Amino acid sequence: MIKPVGSDTLQPRFVYDTDKHHSLMHEAESLPSVVVSSQAAGNAVMLGAGYFNPLKGYMTIGDAMGCAENMKMSDGSFFPVPVLCLLDNVDAIRDAKRIALRDPNVEGNPVLAVMDVNSIETVSDEQMETMTSRVYGTTDPEHPGVAAFNGQGRFAVSGPIDVLSFSYFQSDFPDTFRTAVEIRNEIQERGWKKIVAFQTRNPMHRAHEELCKMAMDAVDADGVVIHMLLGKLKPGDIPAPVRDAAIRKMAELYFPPNTVSITGYGFDMLYAGPREAVLHAYFRQNMGATHFIIGRDHAGVGDYYGAFDAQTIFDNEVPEGALDIEIFKADHTAYSKKLNRVVMMRDAPDHSKEDFVLLSGTKVREMLGQGMAPPPEFSRPEVAEILMDYYQSIK
């Protein structure tokens, strides 16, 4: 099986030992505590689940700046984005060496992790601007990722953490949320050797389904892990439970047995385009995938990124040898009326625009909201039915 990034075995920060977990929960109640941001909570969940292996906790400003500027921490370790705990007020923890981090996304703000505080630093405006522009490719406050990153505060608290909860992800998505450790175990149990990973924050239409099958055929994979984001999205995106139901229906009806695993991870979407694509590849290697699909405008939003910037970053900016996972570079996929099947548009040079079934996301949402199913060339009818029910429910 493919090795994790930076170590021979996964080193998740979640405390699985029952006695130690109980002891830390008891200790946490007497520690100075702070409610962290949703982004910092997502970082804790990813650290706990082994996805950010071999990181042990939140970065210092120096390490975060190194990751932003050249994807390397001060010791030379590779990581594609800063992993920070940014706070707007540190009065309650200013002189503490050990603190409890509380969950902003669960009622009552229960303890999420216990942290050994190595430093509390103030991020300068210049440093914030540098990190924002390098990671997100823009400092536009209208960019949802930029707004979330810059809205957290300017105190960076760094140090290793022991994670005690997977926030709401385990309780709200018991059939879908999986740690990197659990996915590796499942891959081993299934006997898969070559594994394609597919990232999604949306329901999967025909083009996504066929793209997974194309990638599996191209690399002779044993299976595909459809790995969906379960955290916070921008307004207008379809909620995780609806996506989950639609994807499960598609996999059940249209994939051969024992070729697809449907899982999810607990993290808020960054919408950071190319940089987020590298992060996605990083933690897919940690969960055991050997190949990762990156298509057109991967992890993008609006018009901030070029159509294939998320592919070229692996050739131009990712340090050589940093990742072992292989990238399957996909073009825009669409249903060909000429060939009566979904194709990658680059593989059909004799086609004109009229030869494809092309629908914008806006048009599809309009159709679903009006109770109209998109054409079967675009969306499987069983998937469309689930989405129509959702859009009708929010009218």
Residues annotated as catalytic (active site), given as ranges: 201-202
Q: Has residue 7 been placed in a domain?
A: no
Judge whether residue 31 has pLDDT over 90.
Answer: yes
The last residue of a domain, from among 116, 137, 170: 170
Residue 343: give its domain's CATH number: 3.40.50.620
Strands 119-122 and 155-163: antiparallel
Do residues 216 and 270 both lie within one domain? yes
Judge whether residue 235 has pLDDT over 90.
Answer: no
Do residues 192 and 145 both lie within one domain? no
The last residue of a domain, from among 144, 170, 196: 170
Judge whether residue 358 has pLDDT over 90.
Answer: no
Do residues 131 and 209 both lie within one domain? no
Neighbour-count burial for 235-270, b at 16+ CB within 10 Å, e otherwise: eeebebebbbbbbbbbbeebbeeebbbbbbbbbbbb
Provide the pLDDT for residue 29.
96
Judge whether residue 233 has pLDDT over 80.
Answer: no
- Please compute the mean of the pLDDT values over residues 200-218 and round it to a whole number: 92
Q: Has residue 10 been placed in a domain?
A: no
Number of domains in the chain: 2
Over residues 82-116, the pLDDT tens digits come to 999 999 999 999 999 999 999 999 999 999 999 99
Do residues 206 and 110 both lie within one domain? no
Q: Which residues contact 34 (CB under 8 A, 6 or more apart)?
A: 87, 89, 90, 92, 93, 99, 100, 101, 102, 157
Specify the pTM: 0.94
Domain enclosing residue 365, as ranges: 178-393
Provide the pLDDT for residue 61.
98
Q: Has residue 195 been placed in a domain?
A: yes
- Please compute the mean of the pLDDT values over residues 5-20 and round it to a whole number: 97
Instruction: Label residue 123 by pLDDT band (50, 70, 90).
Output: very high
Over residues 302-344, the pLDDT tens digits come to 999 999 999 999 999 999 999 999 999 998 888 888 899 889 8
Provide the pLDDT for residue 353.
86
- Please compute the mean of the pLDDT values over residues 12-20 and round it to a whole number: 98
Judge whether residue 236 has pLDDT over 80.
Answer: no
- Please compute the mean of the pLDDT values over residues 251-257 and round it to a whole number: 94
The last residue of a domain, from among 124, 152, 170: 170
Q: Has residue 8 been placed in a domain?
A: no
Do residues 203 and 301 both lie within one domain? yes
Q: Has residue 373 been placed in a domain?
A: yes
**Average model confidence (pLDDT) across the chain:** 94
Q: Has residue 202 been placed in a domain?
A: yes
Do residues 212 and 153 both lie within one domain? no
Do residues 109 and 225 both lie within one domain? no
Q: Has residue 129 been placed in a domain?
A: yes
- Please compute the mean of the pLDDT values over residues 8-30 and round it to a whole number: 97
- Please compute the mean of the pLDDT values over residues 109-128 and round it to a whole number: 98
Do residues 184 and 128 both lie within one domain? no
Do residues 23 and 127 both lie within one domain? yes
Provide the pLDDT for residue 27.
98
Instruction: Label residue 222 by pLDDT band (50, 70, 90).
Output: very high
Provide the pLDDT for residue 345.
87
